[in-house]
Amino acid sequence: MFPDIFRKLARGPQIVMLKDAAIISAFTGISPGYLVVDAGAGSGFLAIYMGNLVRPDGRVVSYERRHDFASLAERNVKKASMEKYVMIKNKDIFEGIDEKDVDVITLDLMEPWKAVEHAKGALKEGGFLVSYVPSVEQFRQFVRECEKHGLKHEQTVECTIREMVLKEQGTRPQIKGLMHTGYITFVRKP
């Protein structure tokens, strides 16, 4: 099953956590037939996760500026047998987006605001632009740039997962864990 394949992929640059991939996909409705543009690919985790959801007639195109990351992502796509659904493009998304009528664009970049203008051009009406950044200043600047281009800020959220541990002596939440990964911002083209 897919969770088993997913766990075996090679890890390189910091990856989008499964919980965050889940929220991104759920809040934008990613499902069969969606055309998704993603950047940067990194290890390709988010692209592969979404690729599995848009099958069989959808497609994820994931931009990656760095050649080494693009190669790693490419290998992971093959390992996951997602070649038909996920295309890794060794290109800087800040230089333009080739696709048109895109349903969802996901940006896992340090400066997502630099992709807003291109994203606006590529998105279909009602399409979602999503950014995933660690800091408050980043999503503020992203939202400002989006609003400047007439895109509508829907919401910015953070998602926390806390595991419950079941022991003989009782049930309690996990003691240490991830308190923060990133802020997920959803913007929409009117």
Interface residues with its own copies (CB under 8 A) are 1-4, 6, 18-19, 21-23, 25-29, 31-32, 49, 52-53, 55-56, 103, 110, 126-128, 133-140, 143, 153, 155-164, 166-167, 169-181, 183
Closer residue to its own copies in complex, CB, 55/65: 55
Element (H, E) at 118: helix 116-122
The least CB distance from residue 90 to its own copies, in Å, is 26
Cis (ω within 30 of 0) for the bond into 56?
A: yes
Coil, helix or strand for 150? coil
Tell me the closest approach of the beta carbon of residue 40 to its own copies, in angstroms.
Answer: 17
d(Cα 99, Cα 69) in Å, to the nearest integer?
21
* Residue 70 or 123 having the CB closest to its own copies: 123
Whether residue 40 is preceded by a cis peptide bond, meaning omega within 30 degrees of 0, is yes
Nearest CB to its own copies, comparing residues 67 and 168: 168
Indicate the SS3 state at residue 129: strand
Nearer to its own copies, 63 or 183 (CB): 183
